[in-house]
Amino acid sequence: MKEIKKIFKNNIKYDLSKIGNPKRVLFFDIETTGLSPKNSKLYLIGCISVEENNLNFKQWFSESISDETAMLQSFYEYAANFDTLIHFNGDGFDLPYIRECAGQYYLFNPLDDYESIDIYKKIRHLKKPLGLERMNQKTLEEFLGLYREDIYTGGELIEFYYRYTQNKDSNILHTLLLHNEEDLLGMLKVVEMLSYSDFFNSIFVPESVHVNNDKLFLNFICNETLPHDLKLTDDVSLYISGNKVELSIPILKDELKFFFENYKDYYYLTIEDYAVHKSIGEFVDKAVKKKATKQTAYIRQFADYIYCFNMSDIDETFKKDYKSKEKYINLAKLDFDNKEFFSKYLVEIFKHFKLLK
């Protein structure tokens, strides 16, 4: 078994204290000859820890298949100094693999007790809004402006490893170690993507709300900063720069209906085409009124409306007809000073654009 140690300058831009004590955080990644320990082997474990201005980099490399147990034990001993693991899709592959691998040798796997931060799981929902074709680590690195020297995939390197166990070629060893090293150094860059999750889950304070040219404009500010400007548009326009959010909502000028839930308490007036409460309807001629149904217990209003998305705590919403799923809010009844309402409204916009889970 080989152990490789290096020291790099700490250039992590993401604030690891949002996750835990930075000195107790360990970035890690593994390389294997297959997907399951039942028919493959673990041949490389790499990790990076933070110490003030430096990054401590370490790798355990299996010179032969028989080194697997010693490699695991040495890694576990080193990892005992930490309590939080950061990885990319480690919940889906690295951690289950190590757990099963350790089980084959009847080794206790302490990693199950660690806090697990899977970068991939936290940001995979951002694929569409960020316009990314894939959500693998290399694609995200390039999105953030990082390009590798390593040109191989983990799968392509399996044959390299088997060749190395036969000839101990130093060039092959360099290739194997480089791939894992760049996986880890790339992870230090990709962890910045957690800023998106932090940003969209933060508290937004409305700075201004105004109407202009058949649109409602909202401006917000928050205490988090997005690493890259973002602009998304369909009927709604969303622009984010730094810690500021600009939102443009189209205004619908139309006649919509408000449906009464307690429809049994209403009469539907057939000529006027709206419902009135029975306390009033009892004075109306029977020839022009009917008992209201769920479909006819409504009033009509021509007004300016905005789409309410999935907001559930609105007292009064309007629809085009009873079966319509789209609900609207009468703009005239909105309190533009109600910051809580507009903050919740922005959250629904984020969900609309798949920026929040």
**27-38 pLDDT, tens per residue?**
999 999 998 988
pLDDT band at 141 (very low <50, low <70, confident <90, very high): very high
Mean pLDDT of 323-329: 95
Tell me how far CA of residue 60 lies from CA of 46, 193, 212, 269, in angstroms: 6, 28, 62, 81
Tell me how far CA of residue 20 lies from CA of 26, 84, 122, 190, 203, in angstroms: 11, 7, 16, 18, 21
Contacts of 82 (CB under 8 A, 6+ apart): 24, 25, 26, 49, 114
Distance CA 132, CA 336 (A): 36
pLDDT band at 315 (very low <50, low <70, confident <90, very high): confident
Determine the pLDDT at residue 209: 95
Per-residue pLDDT for 325 more than 90? Answer: yes
Determine the pLDDT at residue 149: 86
Determine the pLDDT at residue 350: 95
Determine the pLDDT at residue 153: 86
**41-86 pLDDT, tens per residue?**
999 999 999 998 999 999 999 988 788 999 999 999 999 999 999 9
**189-222 pLDDT, tens per residue?**
999 999 999 999 999 999 999 999 899 999 999 9
pLDDT band at 22 (very low <50, low <70, confident <90, very high): very high
b/e per residue 101-136 (b: at least 16 CB within 10 A): bbeeeeeeeebeebeebbbbbbbebbeebbebeebe
Mean pLDDT of 278-295: 93
pLDDT band at 311 (very low <50, low <70, confident <90, very high): confident
Mean pLDDT of 238-265: 96
Determine the pLDDT at residue 152: 83
Q: Mean pLDDT for the chain?
A: 94
Among residues of the chain, what percentage have pLDDT more than 90?
87
Among residues of the chain, what percentage have pLDDT more than 70?
100
pTM for this model (two decimals):
0.86
Residue 174 burial (CB count, 10 A) = 11
Determine the pLDDT at residue 227: 83
- Closest by CA to 300, choosing from 267, 272, 279, 324, is 272
Do residues 255 and 300 lie in contact, with contact meaning Cβ atoms separated by under 8 Å?
yes
**146-190 pLDDT, tens per residue?**
998 888 888 899 999 999 989 989 999 999 999 999 999 999 999
Domain ranges (residues) in the chain: 2-196, 204-260+297-357
CATH number 3.30.420.10 is the correct assignment for the domain at 2-196: yes
Determine the pLDDT at residue 35: 87
**289-307 pLDDT, tens per residue?**
999 999 999 999 999 999 9
pLDDT band at 331 (very low <50, low <70, confident <90, very high): very high
Per-residue pLDDT for 357 more than 90? Answer: no
Contacts of 312 (CB under 8 A, 6+ apart): none
Parallel/antiparallel/unpaired status of strands 25-32 and 42-51: antiparallel
Per-residue pLDDT for 314 more than 90? Answer: no
